[in-house]
Amino acid sequence: MPRTEYNKLVRDKIPDIIAKNGGVAQVSTLTTGRYITALYKKVLEEFAELIDAVKAADAEETLSGSDAILEELADVTEVLHAIIRIHGLTPDAVDAKRLAKRHDRGGFEKRVYLEYVDEEEKK
């Protein structure tokens, strides 16, 4: 039986899905420190997949309606929720902070792209 190495954090039911499909998965449970590190690697992996989905949808000119984008956003959100929990926070606390920052600094609806700032010389 051929072996594929993954060495990454996966969703909890993945080993069961692999078994149902006739595979044998070797798994282990991560310590808290390794879990935190794996979560941050996972969020980068999921963001990369989201970027790929956006690029593919953009090439097809279907950016807003892409199922792949929705799929990847759901994955990113799941990992972010795990990161929130592991740091002892709640989604509500993060959302409250998001809203406070939105109130103080705004959101991204106006599509403001900062090109540069000319600083006043200090005397």
pLDDT 10s per residue in the chain (123 long)? Answer: 789 999 999 999 999 999 999 999 999 999 999 999 999 999 999 999 999 998 888 877 665 568 889 999 999 999 999 999 999 999 999 999 999 999 999 999 999 999 999 999 887
- Integer angstrom CA distances of residue 27 from 11, 30, 40: 12, 10, 19
What span, in angstroms and rounded, lies between the C-alpha atoms of 114 and 56? 26
Residue 39 corresponds to which amino acid? Answer: L
What pTM, to 2 d.p., does this model score? Answer: 0.85
What span, in angstroms and rounded, lies between the C-alpha atoms of 43 and 77? 9
pLDDT per residue as tens digits for the range 73-106: 999 999 999 999 999 999 999 999 999 999 999 9
